[in-house]
Structure 1
Amino acid sequence: MVVSALRRPADQFENNIIPSTWSIQNIKDAFSPVNGFGRSLLNSLIVAGSVTILTLVIGLIAAYTLARLEFRGKNIVLGIIITTSMFPGISLVIPLLKLFIDIKWINTYQAMIVPSLSFALPLAIWTLTAFFRQMPRELEQAAMVDGCTPAQAFRKVILPLAAPGVFTTAIITFIAAWNEFLIALAMINKKEIQTANVVISQFTGTTGRDQPFGSIMAAGVIVTIPLVIAVLIFQRRIVAGLTAGGVK
């Protein structure tokens, strides 16, 4: 992708591994006002960021409740939560499209955020529930003996210790929401609201009919960069979250 992005448009099909002539023309073409790629990056950030924040807020509360409270039917609730994640996205597009037309959500951010949230929450709740279960209950009990309320014990003691699991869940959720394509394609037809993945799929060449491989590769590299940066910054916490409980 990087090599193709840095070739001249006229050299896209040359056989050299290293471009004979380096050029940033493809990057300029990707950010052409006609494509609307710059705006689409902001839209992707809004959608993925909103999904990640909402997933963490709702998922943390639900997971802690399921991990700590004893109530009738808890295993059934967990089963239902994980079952909802098994539905293929393509099977939900038509019902969601009809629903969003009826409630006038077509061409809105929530038409992309809510479905992505429903796909991300089951995995987040399941992961965080298993993480909270590994933490001894004595931590909260000791905090409450020292004067904390249950909410304060969760916020001041449990949440900092759960940081690796929270970061892991956040990164996985953000990547899934950032890469989401099907719902964004089906629910949005206004250029101003489309996400980067949808806009890239609609790139046209100089004639409007040819395929601009160079600018598509350049846009693909640009879309990948935020994910790579996020993983590099938080890699230690991600590894800690994925391996927590593996060794006692």
Structure 2
Amino acid sequence: MTATRGNASTPRKVLTFAGLGLILLYCLAPFYWMAVSAFRRPSDQFELTALPAPFSLDNLTAVFSPAVGFGRSLLNSLVVAGVTTILTLVIGVSAAYALARLNFRFKNAVAALIIATSMFPGISLLVPLLALFTDIGWINTYQSMIVPSLSFALPLAVWNLTAFFRQMPEELEQAAMIDGCTRGQAFRKVILPLAAPGIFTTAIITFIAAWNEFIIALSMVNDSTMQTATVAISRFTGAYGFDQPFGTQMAAGVIVTVPLVVVVLLFQRRIIAGLTAGGVK
């Protein structure tokens, strides 16, 4: 009987691993081809070989040439994504803790309203935001990219952190207050350290979303010194005046993507722990 069950489970395992392999191939194939194209010579961009031959750094060199200004674009992306992440955590942690722990009228309505704001497609808000930012003089500024990104990131952050705080026992704060802490001190000294996995996960997700944001940065900024990396990639004209920009775009894509991949691989356990902790009682 045991042998029969073991034999029956073998095809199931094979199908499972085959499915995982197909999904992995589907996800990694575009990035692999981007990396291969980044290390081809500009004149070899339309080659179909699996590896670049010969290996060339011309595209990477062209990306960081002073005329392209890609280094400044990377700095702009870092500023926008970093500030968006910090503000999202400061506001999101406070709002999520209030929703999870405090009892007040219309609490469920407030939570539903926060989630409802994330249902609006970003493209539908561009015209009113563009008109508003033009009137107040925010075009070609960091805040014109940070504030919309913050409004899109906050609902998900509040939702994730609320679920995380709710699964933490209230006895933790009660014990801290018995020992002489105020509710604020109990939150800072007890709850926040224990909520670090959820906060860290939210920070990573928010940073990646803000780093990859394109449509807002494209619409709110027309100054080349203020554009983010994603916008700069879309506006590449090529390493030279007569070539196609595919090689430099692929090289810039690798530069933008690799740090995110490294961060996710290094902290994948914390990310998974933070995502699953809110669903466990």
Same structural fold, with TM-score higher than 0.5 when normalized by the shorter chain: yes
From 223, 226, 229, the equivalent of 2:259 is 226
Query: Which residue in 1 is equivalent to 2:51?
Result: 18
Preserved CA contact (<8 Å) 2:60 2:248: yes
Which string of whole-angstrom CA distances, capped at 9 and with x for unpartnered residues, describes residues 159-214 of structure 1?
A: 11111110111011001000000010000001111000000100002665753111
Distance 2:222 2:167 in 1: 45
Query: Which residue in 1 is equivalent to 2:139?
Result: 106
Query: Which residue in 2 is equivalent to 1:118?
Result: 151
Distance 1:24 1:206 in 2: 12
Which string of whole-angstrom CA distances, capped at 9 and with x for unpartnered residues, describes residues 99-121 of structure 1?
A: 00000000000000000000000
Distance 1:245 1:103 in 2: 40
1:197 maps to a residue whose letter is T
Indicate the SS of the match to 1:95. Answer: helix
Distance 2:66 2:122 in 1: 32
Once the two structures are superposed, the pairs formed by residues 122-137 of structure 1 within 5 Å of their partners are 122-137=155-170
- The answer to which of 191-200 and 145-154 deviates more is 145-154
- Higher-RCO chain (CA-CA 8 Å, sequence separation at least 6): 1
Preserved CA contact (<8 Å) 2:42 2:243: no
> CA 1:210–1:11 in structure 2 vs 1: closer, same or farther (change >3 Å)?
closer
Query: Which residue in 2 is equivalent to 1:147?
Result: 180
2:95 maps to a residue whose letter is A
Percent identity reads 74
2:91 maps to a residue whose letter is I
Query: Which residue in 2 is equivalent to 1:69?
Result: 102
CA positional deviation for 1:225: 1.6
Query: Which residue in 1 is equivalent to 2:238?
Result: 205
Normalising by structure 2, we get a TM-score of: 0.86
- The answer to which of 141-150 and 82-91 deviates more is 141-150
1:35 maps to a residue whose letter is V
Preserved CA contact (<8 Å) 1:37 1:199: yes
CA positional deviation for 1:18: 1.0
Query: Which residue in 1 is equivalent to 2:191?
Result: 158
CA positional deviation for 1:24: 0.5
> CA 1:143–1:227 in structure 2 vs 1: closer, same or farther (change >3 Å)?
same
Preserved CA contact (<8 Å) 2:166 2:278: no
Distance 1:206 1:152 in 2: 56
Which string of whole-angstrom CA distances, capped at 9 and with x for unpartnered residues, describes residues 66-110 of structure 1?
A: 100001100000010000000000000000000000000000000
2:233 maps to a residue whose letter is I
> CA 1:114–1:245 in structure 2 vs 1: closer, same or farther (change >3 Å)?
closer
| 1:50 aligns to 2:83 (yes or no) | yes
Distance 1:201 1:210 in 2: 15
Indicate the SS of the match to 1:105. Answer: coil
> CA 1:245–1:56 in structure 2 vs 1: closer, same or farther (change >3 Å)?
closer
Which string of whole-angstrom CA distances, capped at 9 and with x for unpartnered residues, describes residues 8-58 of structure 1?
A: 111111121011200000001111222111100000000000000000000
CA positional deviation for 1:233: 2.7
| 1:28 aligns to 2:61 (yes or no) | yes
CA positional deviation for 1:245: 4.7
